């Protein structure tokens, strides 16, 4: 067949970019609650997926794919949804102490695009919506969390719930470069507004704070200011941390996009996975200053779920 016109042009076009293919798998899990190391602000984590399609350049969690003998680049292309998370959760909650904090979404975003179809996070929230007395935090960059607003409200009536929205920068162009498939910053701020309007406690975290990229006073101040205007209660932030697999992705990215920073990044991360104590202390002081300027708190947020208050009142004024 002889191709003519637009068909011929199309057939001879130069490939600019091949669209990435993401593959989804189901993976059996032995447990859904994972114990953290001592001195963490939470004692248990839940990650309904392995891998994260959002594919942030700085993501520290790429090492989790190494456990499955996969290269760190496949972290965003091969996504594993855990089997039956609700069944596991119901069984495991019976065995843990209610005073311990549970963090949902520490090594993958629980509202990454896969969640739209596979609803593993939703299944977990349905369990918490029937429970009472837990301390739960959810971390995400995605406005997809608004799909579950009704469940979140129910959870917050019965449990202490905080949602942490990650916003590394208010600069949309920079965000697109760092977090290519995350929702736009404006959508994330709108998510903060909607969650607050529904009475949910919301924190904004500019994590990870990246030296020379997002760590200036002006950059962090802009995030805190936008967070406050959107109604966030709490603000905090910690520095970049690059375990080996994350370095394989992030350092070449720095060389390509921020060549003026490349030598300093290489020198720093040749020595280990963390930034220096001096840098961390100066950054913590900067975050404290900015938080105070915008009258934001560092958390935990002080509120009593509606049902707890009702029960306490009933206990104070017994009817019989």
- Residues lying near ligand SF4 in the complex (CB under 6 A) are found at 52, 54-56, 59, 61, 108-109, 141
> Nearest approach, Cβ of 205 to ligand SF4 (angstroms)?
11
Pairing mode of beta strands 160-166, 23-27: unpaired
**Shortest Cβ distance from residue 164 to ligand SF4 (Å)?**
11
Least distance from C-beta 56 to ligand SF4, angstroms?
A: 3
Question: Looking at beta carbons only, is 45 or 159 nearer to ligand SF4?
Answer: 45
Distance CA 62, CA 175 (A): 19
Q: In the chain, which ranges are continuous DSSP H helix? A: 5-11, 63-66, 85-93, 114-118, 120-128, 149-158, 172-178, 185-197, 217-230, 244-257, 259-270, 277-293, 306-316
For residues 118-155, one letter each, b for 16 or more C-beta atoms within 10 angstroms of the residue's C-beta and e for the rest, the string is bbbbbbbbbbbbeeeebbbbbbbbbbbbebbeebbbbb
Our CB check for ligand SF4 shows the closer of 177 and 297 to be 177
Distance CA 13, CA 6 (A): 10
Q: How far is the CB of 52 from ligand SF4 (least distance, A)?
A: 3
Give the residue with the Cβ less far from ligand SF4, 141 or 158: 141
Nearer to ligand SF4, 109 or 215 (CB): 109
Q: How far is the CB of 107 from ligand SF4 (least distance, A)?
A: 6
Contact residues for 312 (Cβ-Cβ < 8 A; gap 6+): 304
Q: Which is nearer to ligand SF4, 64 or 159 (CB)?
A: 64
Q: Which tokens is 210 given?
A: 């990246």
Q: How far is the CB of 138 from ligand SF4 (least distance, A)?
A: 12
From CA 285, how far away is CA 302, in angstroms rounded? 23
Burial tier of 256 (Cβ tally within 10 Å: 0-12, 13-18, 19+): exposed
Nearer to ligand SF4 by C-beta: 57 or 294?
Answer: 57
Q: For the CB of residue 246, give the shortest distance to ligand SF4 in the complex, in Å.
A: 9
User: Given the complex with ligand SF4, which of 241 and 308 has the nearer CB atom?
Assistant: 241
Q: Residue 237: name the closest of 274, 285, 198, 189 by CA.
A: 285
């Amino acid at each position: 067949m002889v191709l003519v016109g637009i068909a011929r042009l199309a057939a001879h076009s130069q490939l600019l970019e091949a669209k990435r293919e993401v593959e989804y798998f189901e993976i059996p899990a032995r447990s859904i609650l994972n114990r953290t190391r001592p001195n963490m602000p939470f004692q248990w984590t839940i990650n309904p997926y392995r891998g994260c399609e959002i594919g942030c350049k700085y993501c520290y969690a790429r090492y989790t794919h190494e456990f499955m003998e996969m290269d760190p680049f496949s972290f965003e292309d091969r996504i594993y949804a855990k089997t039956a998370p609700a069944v596991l959760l119901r069984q495991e909650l019976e065995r843990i102490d209610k005073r311990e904090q549970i963090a949902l979404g520490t090594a993958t975003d629980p509202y990454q695009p896969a969640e739209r179809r596979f609803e593993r996070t939703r299944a977990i929230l349905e369990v918490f919506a029937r429970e009472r007395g837990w301390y739960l935090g959810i971390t995400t960059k995605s406005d997809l969390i608004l799909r579950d607003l009704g469940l979140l409200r129910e959870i917050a009536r019965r449990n202490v719930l905080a949602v942490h929205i990650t916003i590394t920068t208010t600069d949309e162009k920079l965000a697109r470069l760092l977090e290519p498939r995350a929702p736009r910053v404006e959508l994330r701020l709108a998510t903060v507004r909607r969650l607050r309007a529904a009475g949910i406690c919301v924190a904004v975290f500019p994590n990870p704070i990246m030296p020379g990229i997002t760590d200036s006073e002006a950059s962090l101040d802009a995030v805190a200011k936008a967070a406050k205007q959107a109604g966030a209660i709490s603000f905090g932030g910690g520095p970049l941390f690059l375990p080996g697999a994350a370095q394989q992705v992030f350092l070449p990215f720095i060389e390509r996009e921020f060549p003026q920073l490349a030598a300093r990044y290489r020198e720093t991360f040749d020595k280990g996975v963390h930034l220096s104590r001096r840098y961390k202390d100066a950054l913590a002081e900067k975050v404290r200053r900015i938080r105070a300027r915008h009258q934001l708190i560092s958390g935990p947020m002080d509120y009593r779920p509606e049902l707890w208050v009702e029960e306490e009142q009933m206990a104070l004024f017994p009817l019989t």
